[in-house]
Amino acid sequence: MVRDGYYYGLAFIAAAVLVGWFTQPAWAVLPLALAAFFLWFFRDPERVIPNAAGALVSPGDGKVTDVSVVTVDGAKQTRISIFLSVFNVHVNRSPIAGVVRDVRYQRGKYLNAMNQASAEHNEQNIVRVEGDGQSVVFKQIAGLLARRIVFTPKVGDRLERGQRVGLIKFGSRVDVLFDADSVVQVKVGDRVRGGASVLAYLQPQGELAGAGRYSAGEGAR
């Protein structure tokens, strides 16, 4: 379980005890239910990480809502969007093994994460990871209910494929952008699991495909 779950859970358990003590035991049911929800919501299950060469894994659990090709600074990129409901695990994982080259937090709105406009206008954290001749960008995007994005690695840190990197609290969305020549393995409507589901297989490149393509402040458009 993510540490935050203990904070929320214990706080509501304490509230239930106080409510039951000073009023009627039946009134303690609501805070106890909320404690159970938060303990469940912040679950952090172990995952088997695929070791196939070039595998790009999902950064989060949820439903694939978009698979499309976008143009970024004149270059074609595949974008996969995944919607995380309050019922999904919200721990985020690195899609590839590599070095964190850029991390940028962007303030913004809290549109419904199912809305395509949320990819550009919502509060989000944009991360670029370089590894094995490829550059992959993934975004942690806040949704209608989400109000806090957590990302723990720093620029220069080495990540392993499927490594835990943070979370988004409550409903949210994650986008992944990578070279359009990659072989996509999912379609709209598929359910994926963070760190375990392969979204695509990246094609080996002689040079970093996205080096210099994303700078601070840039994203898909």
Catalytic residues: 172
State the Cα–Cα distance between residues 86 and 190, nearest whole angstrom: 17
Query: 102 with 214: CB under 8 angstroms?
Result: yes
State the Cα–Cα distance between residues 32 and 14, nearest whole angstrom: 9
State the Cα–Cα distance between residues 113 and 142, nearest whole angstrom: 7
State the Cα–Cα distance between residues 178 and 68, nearest whole angstrom: 11
State the Cα–Cα distance between residues 19 and 26, nearest whole angstrom: 9
Nearest alpha carbon to residue 138 among 190, 185, 173 = 173
